Structure 1
Amino acid sequence: MKPPAGTSAEEGTAELLQVVADPVRWRILTLLAGEQLCTTHLQDLLGAKQTLVSHHLKVLREAGLVDTEPCGRFTYYRLRPGALDGLAEVVAGMAAASRGDVDRRAC
């Protein structure tokens, strides 16, 4: 997700983390990482109502994390290729830093 103009990269990362931190959206992303699914599939797999699934899909689309593909009267969703790469790099960098020695700032 590209941060909006005037927003720092850290703020953009924090906003993306807020999007993926929701348990329902995280589950949707996990499911879409394995296969393309329509809203009906997601309703069944999540045990959720169509309005809830559609709301979370809208948030994920607006964040640039999922793509859509119409297929007849259905719309299929898939995880956008590379959409989580930037977030993965940030988290991997923090994880690597946590394993090493860090400087101590003097008080």
Structure 2
Amino acid sequence: MTEARGAPAAGSGPGAAVALLQAVSDPVRWSVLDVLAGGPACVCTIQEQVPVAANLLSYHLRALREAGLVTASRRGRWVDYRLADDAAERMRRALPGAVAGTDAAHLGAGRRLEVSVP
């Protein structure tokens, strides 16, 4: 039996945008999102690629679920995570200027954001 879980999409406005950006600003969460950008993964696979304590990984996965950026589905004793369908679009819209209709060129289209994880 499969059970999908995830937070409802967050509201709109500056407060929601700031909350979303705060959720992805943590290097561990960014690494989890990077892993899930490659496709759905179980916790054990994420743990292999994001080497943090299991309880800390659980905490960060919960924060990403609550932000509505990832969803979880249970397969027996396993839990699989995947990016929410609208995660990339919501992160893009959260950037300053995106809500006000600023064009992508002004936001640095074509540049890749890189984050280093200690």
The normalised TM-score by structure 2 is: 0.70
Q: Does 1:20 align with 2:24?
A: yes
Change (3 A) 1:82 1:98: closer
Decide whether the 8 Å contact of 1:40 with 1:50 is kept in 2: no
2:116 equivalent in structure 1: none
Change (3 A) 1:53 1:97: same
Q: Structure 1: which 5+ runs fail to align?
A: 100-107
Relative CO higher for 1 or 2, CA cutoff 8 Å, sep ≥ 6? 2
Query: Which has more helix, going by share of residues?
Result: 1
Change (3 A) 1:35 1:96: same
Q: Does 1:96 align with 2:105?
A: yes
Counterpart residue identity of residue 2, structure 1:
A
Q: Does 1:51 align with 2:55?
A: yes
Task: State how 1:1-107 maps to structure 2 within 5 Å.
Answer: 1-3=9-11, 9-91=13-95, 93=102, 96-97=105-106
For the pair shown, the structure with the greater C-alpha radius of gyration is: 1
What is the rounded CA distance, in whole Å, between the counterparts of 2:64 and 2:38 in structure 1? 16
The normalised TM-score by structure 1 is: 0.77
What is the rounded CA distance, in whole Å, between the counterparts of 2:63 and 2:72 in structure 1? 13
Q: Structure 2: which 5+ runs fail to align?
A: 1-8, 109-118
| Runs of 4 or more above 2 Å deviation | 89-99
Count the aligned residue pairs: 95
Q: Percent same amino acid at aligned positions?
A: 38
Decide whether the 8 Å contact of 1:67 with 1:78 is kept in 2: yes
Measured on the aligned residues, the alpha-carbon RMSD in Å equals 2.1
